């Protein structure tokens, strides 16, 4: 009896339909001749408090690929995402986005160039809890919906764009309630709509599916793959090795603020990556 209970069968029974977690069978080899969307060269940060210091980060993200960043929480994941965005200053090294230097650029500039950002704890890091969902959806692109030089906001357009996006992704959540009343899953869906649905060319996603139920997890992964298929580049930061192996085109391991390994997922396995994540030596076979 026990051998019949596969994960897929259980999910089907729970949700009454077949839900397959997206796998990497649609993976593509990125065209290395193309210009990287994002390039970090020797990037270092200086922490103010309990943060981890990033040292000598070199990485590239090409169009149409998902670069997975594996690491145990506390080894620089949050700092990596934040330094790409410009939330924390880069004291050494360079950041190049879509071919232009953004090493000193403020967050607003980076955002307006077309960078989406899914933070690891959206409610505290990227959402204004008392404002409505619709208002929150607008916050990254207020200029786009401003009319009369900023004197009015075109809420009708916001609404219809949001509705379109929700339909495309197959999401459904209420738009006119305070954001803090959304469930964890719906909040993540809202963030995914905001960051992935409006043509972001580079997406940084941190712990995309942490704490989500199965259905939301699948929806989130599908959205990410769709964005990738449309040509976006994705930096996927996660602790979930299964997710990283399933979705990444390339895999990077972050430990103690440094990149300690770069692989293609088919060249390695969970155990090697796991060892690198904890800083221990890779055992020889």
* CB 265 to other proteins: min, Å: 30
Among 61, 67, 70, 126, binds other proteins (CB under 8 A): 126
How many residues contact other proteins, by CB under 8 A? 31
Per CB under 8 A, the segment of 7-15, 17-25, 128-136, 262-270 that binds other proteins is: 128-136
Per CB under 8 A, the segment of 127-135, 240-248, 250-258, 271-279 that binds other proteins is: 127-135
Among 127, 246, 259, 277, binds other proteins (CB under 8 A): 127
Task: Return the number of the residue (79 or 249) whose C-beta is nearest other proteins.
Answer: 79
Task: Return the number of the residue (109 or 270) whose C-beta is nearest other proteins.
Answer: 109
Pick the closest to residue 120 from 51, 208, 54, 50 (CA basis). 208
Three-state SS string across the chain, please?
CHHHCCHHHHHHHHHCCCCCCCCHHHCCCCCCCCCCCEEEEEEEECCCCCCCCCCCEEEEECCCCEEEEECCCCCCHHHHHHHHHCCCCEEEEEEEECCEECCCCCHHHHHHCCEEEECCCHHHHCCCCCCEHHHHHHHHHHHHHEEHHHCEECHHHHHHHHHHHHHHHCCCCCCCCEHHHCCHHHHHHHHHHHHHCCCCCEEEEECCCCCCCHHHHHHHHHHHHHHHHCCCEEEEEECCHHHHHHHCCEEEEEECCEEEEEECHHHCCHHHHHHHHCCCCCCCC
* Measured CA distances, 129 to 5, 125, 207 (Å): 40, 10, 20
Task: Return the number of the residue (91 or 139) whose C-beta is nearest other proteins.
Answer: 139
Q: State which of positions 53-112 bind other proteins (CB under 8 A).
A: 85, 87, 106-108, 110-112
Q: State which of positions 129-148 bind other proteins (CB under 8 A).
A: 129-131, 135, 138-140, 142-143, 145-146
86: phi > 0 → left, psi -120 to 50 → alpha, else beta; which?
left
- Would you give the binding string for other proteins spanning residues 28-57, x where CB under 8 A is met? --------------------x---------
* CB 123 to other proteins: min, Å: 9
User: Binding of other proteins at residue 175 (CB under 8 A)?
Assistant: no
* CB 226 to other proteins: min, Å: 23
Task: Return the number of the residue (96 or 123) whose C-beta is nearest other proteins.
Answer: 123
Per CB under 8 A, the segment of 63-71, 151-159, 233-241, 256-264 that binds other proteins is: 151-159
Pick the closest to residue 113 from 193, 38, 201 (CA basis). 201
* CB 268 to other proteins: min, Å: 33
**In the complex, which residues of this chain contact other proteins (CB under 8 A)?**
48, 85, 87, 106-108, 110-112, 117, 119, 124-131, 135, 138-140, 142-143, 145-146, 150-153
């Amino acid at each position: 009896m026990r051998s019949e209970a596969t994960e897929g069968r259980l999910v089907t029974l729970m949700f009454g339909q077949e839900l397959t977690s997206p796998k990497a069978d649609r993976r593509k080899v990125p065209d290395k001749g193309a210009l990287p969307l994002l390039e970090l060269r020797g990037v270092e940060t200086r922490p103010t408090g309990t943060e981890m210091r990033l040292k000598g980060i070199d990485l590239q993200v090409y169009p149409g690929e998902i670069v997975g960043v594996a690491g145990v929480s506390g080894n620089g994941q949050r700092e990596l995402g934040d330094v790409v965005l410009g939330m924390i200053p880069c004291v050494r090294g360079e950041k190049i986005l879509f071919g232009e230097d953004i090493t000193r650029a403020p967050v607003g500039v980076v955002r307006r160039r077309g960078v989406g950002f899914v933070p690891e704890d959206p409610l505290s890091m990227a959402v204004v809890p008392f404002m409505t969902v619709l208002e929150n959806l607008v916050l990254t692109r207020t200029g786009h919906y401003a009319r009369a030089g900023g004197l009015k906001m075109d809420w009708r357009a916001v609404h219809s764009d949001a509705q379109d996006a929700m339909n495309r992704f197959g999401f459904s959540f209420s738009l006119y309630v305070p954001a803090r009343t959304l469930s964890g899953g719906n909040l993540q869906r809202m963030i995914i709509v905001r960051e992935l649905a409006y043509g972001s060319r580079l997406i940084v996603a941190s712990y995309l599916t942490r704490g989500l139920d199965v259905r939301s997890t699948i929806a989130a992964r599908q959205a990410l793959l769709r964005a990738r298929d449309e040509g976006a580049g994705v930096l996927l930061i996660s602790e979930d090795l299964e997710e990283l192996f399933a979705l990444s085109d390339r895999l990077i391991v972050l430990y103690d603020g440094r990149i300690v390994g770069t692989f293609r997922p088919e060249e390695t396995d969970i155990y090697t990556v796991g060892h690198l994540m904890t800083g221990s030596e890779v055992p020889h076979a």
